[in-house]
A and B are shown apart, each in its own frame.
Chain A
Amino acid sequence: MTRPLVIANARIVDPASGLDAPGAVLVVDGRIAGVSAGAPQGVPEAAELLDARGLVVAPGLIDMRVFTGEPGHEYRETLASAGEAAAAGGVTSFVLMPDTTPVIDDGALVDFLLRRAQATCAVNVLPAAAITRGLRGEEITEFGLLKEAGAVCLTDGRESIQSAGLLRAVFSYARNFDLPVVHHTADRTLVGDGVMNEGTLATISGLKGIPAEAETVPLARDLQLAALTGARYHAAQISTGAAVDLVATAKRQTEAVSCGISINNLTLNENDVAPWRTFFKLAPPLRSEDDRRAVIEGLNSGAIDVIHSAHDPQDSEVKRRPFAEASDGAIGLETLLAAALRLVHSGDVPLMTVLRAMTSRPAGILGLDSGRLALGAPADIVVFDPEFPWVVRERELRSRSRNTAFEGARMQGAVLHTFVAGRRVFSHAAVNEGRTA
């Protein structure tokens, strides 16, 4: 049994309750035992005190889209290394994509992941199970057994199911077990050989473009099938203004629909790619600045529910290639919060909205009891300094892979402490050296 913990003199921001006020949080036995405005109350003797003056205390982040290399490609990332990166980024839970070798399409593999995470990973791992066996888009997996084994949602990860008929069956059958279906929408024939956003920049670079319709055509199909079946549907990652409009329209009819977006598509645009910077080669691709402005509006209006890191470790062997031949993806667990704070500092999005999209909204979609600072909730907590200046150095990141899209980026805001179930899993070097709280 650990000592009780009091985090005092903090700015408490809890999107689930809408609280944004000075106060204190009390943690006992790994759970939140009190949240009070002003000075802490009812503090047990011998409690550890963390003076969080000038700092924000919020629910630990829930990252809905994380890839690792375990099992199968441990040189890219293990659950342990992803856990360290997550803890350093204030992420206390992440949804693990099933794109591993083997693919997570069987209950026994979900069980394996949970045991492995329990033994090696500093934060909570929430396994997502494959929708189709081997992610091949053909036969559906055992949704019920996968849920019993501990899968929190269904997704084909990087893959996108092309058959409308199959999707209808998937949505109907998933509803049986009340499992959310998280789907990356990409029409294979419209993506074609495309490797970046379609437009002048791609044309000048001699690269094949990916039109917005590669995302919106299958998204429109999915939303209609979600309405038909009543499924809990979550568009994994949209990137265009047109997609925001589609989701907003669907949300007027049903509450069972939601969508997410990668922090990359909120904070970067296609100009970052030029020329040939493969660490900015992502799926969906970085879009135009007009699209970026539109998705920020979508976040503010509530059309977009979730911000995730799309953490996708790729080794240099597959990244340091000619652009069209390089792999998609960038790591992002450790930079998620700092990058999201860019939206706050630029005045584009309120802090509460940014945090909601990484705490209470993903918790609500996945049916978790975390993601909030409520009595009895797990004490998954992040303490961050919203102003702390730092520069991203790939060598200093904890992921086993180095493919960050933020190398050399100047950040304002850093995680100082991360707690998972009341246990401290990360403290910033500046804290350890006594430079800050």
Chain B
Amino acid sequence: MVTSPPASATGGQSVGRPPFRHRNLLAISQLNPFEIVDLLDRAEAMIPISRQPRKILPTLAGKTQINLFFENSTRTQASFEIAGKRLGAQVTNMSVRTSSIAKGETLIDTAATLNAMQPDVIIVRHSASGAVELLSQKVGCAVINAGDGAHEHPTQALLDALTIRQHKGRLSGLTVAICGDIANSRVARSNLLLLGALQVRTRVVAPRTLLPRGIEALCSEVYTDMREGLAGADVVMMLRLQHERASGRMIPSIREYYHFYGLDAEKLGWAKPDVIVMHPGPMNRGVEIDPAIADGPYSVINEQVEMGVAVRMAVLDALLANSEIAA
């Protein structure tokens, strides 16, 4: 596949790619299909940087990046941190336990305080849907949503799409089955929006208690049976079950959930022979996925992690290059 290097990698000169026209990345729903493909192309061009011995493309030299995580996430936080550092940014991590939120400060107070420190980009994860957008209204810098409640997780959807494209060479026309706790998943929502925008046939597969009302509006097909839902799928995307919360109310037991919805070799056999298996992590092995599948030949889960760094580098570069153009 022919791709061009990121504009900023060539000194910000035009290489036929218009600047990214958003100040923030809050949701996939804010992007049109061209912008999604543009971000995927930019991310693809970032992949080699992480594979070379000197992993640095200092387009963000002198920039300040704050990772503000109100929910714990070692993986996503590390991914954003590494992405920023590979672009030369100064990265500060703030997690909820060390912040003043515990002292009763509101989200808006926190936003105002951080804003006064003149960061260039704040990456936010929060347990409440819409919290990141609320914070973005109160700061003068770029904001990236690293997951808000059950709403969106846009960089996850971008890295998933990039992983699929790397493997299948395309996105449109594929059939992707997203399985598990759809009701509580921001990953599912962002993926359905992104894949839907790029003409992918999207399916959700879950027990009825984990299917939110009106989900039909976001996907092509809804299934409650794994055999039907996985039949002919090019991609199977498993979601983490929040079993501490769901157990006893939404599902009777992990045993029953695994029996009907856990991805094992038999169920995977219903999908296409060249199927790939994805999971946003962290996995509950033996709950939603058989360890042998997670670590087996169909799994691209570790590649998702690698694509995550590339996507986050591309998003940071796109947003901050944009900020300079705007200035």
Contacts and interface: CB of A to CB of B under 8 A. Distances in A.
Given A206-B151, A206-B152, A276 B218 contact: no
A203 B212 CA distance: 6
A324 B217 contact: no
Contacts of A323: 128-130
Contacts of B149: 206-207, 322, 324
A276 B134 contact: yes
A119 interface: no
Given A276-B134, A321-B107, A203 B214 contact: yes
Contact of B129 (A200, A320, A324): A324
B296 to A, nearest CB: 32
A209 interface: yes
A45 interface: no
A208 B149 CA distance: 10
A150 interface: no
A320 B110 CA distance: 13
A97 B188 CA distance: 43
Nearest to A277: B130
Nearest to B151: A206
Interface residues of B, number: 24
B189 interface: yes
Interface of B is mostly: mixed
Interface in B107-125: 107-108
Contacts of B107: 321-322
A433 interface: no
B213 A206 contact: no
A325 B108 contact: no
Contacts of B151: 205-207
Given A199-B214, A204-B217, A322 B186 contact: no
A246 interface: no
Nearest to B134: A322
A328 to B, nearest CB: 15
Contacts of B126: 322
A198 B211 CA distance: 12
Contacts, number: 75
A367 interface: no
Interface string B192-219: 0000000000000000000011110110
Interface in A186-240: 198-209, 211
Nearest to A206: B151
A199 B129 contact: no
A201 B214 contact: yes
Interface residues of A, number: 22
A321 B133 CA distance: 11
A323 B151 CA distance: 12
B214 A276 contact: no
Nearest to A207: B129
B128 A324 contact: yes
Contact of B214 (A202, A206, A317, A322): A202
22 contacts: A198-B214, A201-B214, A202-B212, A203-B213, A204-B29, A204-B217, A206-B151, A206-B189, A207-B129, A207-B151, A209-B212, A209-B213, A211-B213, A276-B130, A317-B106, A320-B108, A321-B106, A321-B107, A321-B108, A322-B128, A323-B130, A324-B149
6 A-B pairs with the lowest CB-CB distances in the bound complex, closest first: A206-B151, A200-B214, A322-B128, A276-B130, A206-B150, A322-B131
Interface of B: 29, 106-108, 126, 128-131, 133-134, 148-152, 186, 189, 212-215, 217-218
Interface of A: 198-209, 211, 275-276, 317, 320-325
Given A203-B218, A322-B129, 11 more contacts: A201-B214, A202-B212, A203-B215, A203-B217, A204-B189, A204-B217, A207-B129, A209-B213, A317-B106, A322-B131, A322-B134
